Amino acid sequence: MFMQKTLSLIKPDATERNITGSINIRFEQAGLRIIAQKRLWLTKTQSEQFYKIHKERAFYDSLCEYMSSGPIVAQILYGKNAVAKNREIMGATNPANAEIGTVRRDFGQSIERNTVHGSDSFENAEIEISFFFSLLEIIE
Ligand code: IDP
Ligand code: MG
């Protein structure tokens, strides 16, 4: 068990419905700590940069359009096995396939509007954290 940081995004479908607190209580109750947090409204270009690993996928343009359609909350979660723990709390990409009690099952609206993002590996967490945060903004 390693203490890790991971990037979490609360997506526009959730800020629109005013449910960021209902989501974050799940992370905290599972033992993850929010050690950095800010609300942003990404441009389409910024969304495209963040999701560039998906640029060949059919859903890329729609995903980037959606991610820049309203505010998001970017945050760093810190704790034991934070990368995997966050993915467990989030649930599967498609809310219809996500386990009962996960954020995506309980709040997700579709495979695209699935409420939260979480880094999928330690390496990607480092890259994604540095996309959104500088060292000065991280209170460990
Ligand atoms: P993940 O967020 O569970 O890691 P990824 O495959 O990395 O899933 O996809 C990134 C995001 O792209 C998803 O969270 C979702 O918003 C969107 N997405 C993934 N697959 C589809 C799809 O088949 N149709 C539309 N949007 C999708
Ligand atoms: Mg992913």
CA distance 20 to 89: 14
Q: What pLDDT was estimated at residue 140?
A: 87
The answer to whether the beta carbons of residues 33 and 77 sit under 8 Å apart is: yes
In this predicted structure, the answer to whether residue 11 has a pLDDT above a threshold of 90 is yes
Ligand 1: residue of 111, 115, 116, 121 to mutate (most ligand atoms within 8 A of CB) is: 111
**Which residues on adjacent β-strands are paired with residue 39?**
73
pTM of the model: 0.98
Atom of ligand 1 nearest to the CA of 113: 16
54 in catalytic set = no
Among the listed residues 5, 104, 105, 117, the single catalytic one is 117
Q: Per-residue pLDDT tens for 47-57?
A: 999 999 999 99
CA distance 128 to 107: 23
Q: Per-residue pLDDT tens for 13-44?
A: 999 999 999 999 999 999 999 999 999 999 99
Q: Per-residue pLDDT tens for 72-129?
A: 999 999 999 999 999 999 999 999 999 999 999 999 999 999 999 999 999 999 999 9
CA distance 70 to 66: 8
CA distance 23 to 104: 10
Ligand 1: residue of 54, 55, 93 to mutate (most ligand atoms within 8 A of CB) is: 93
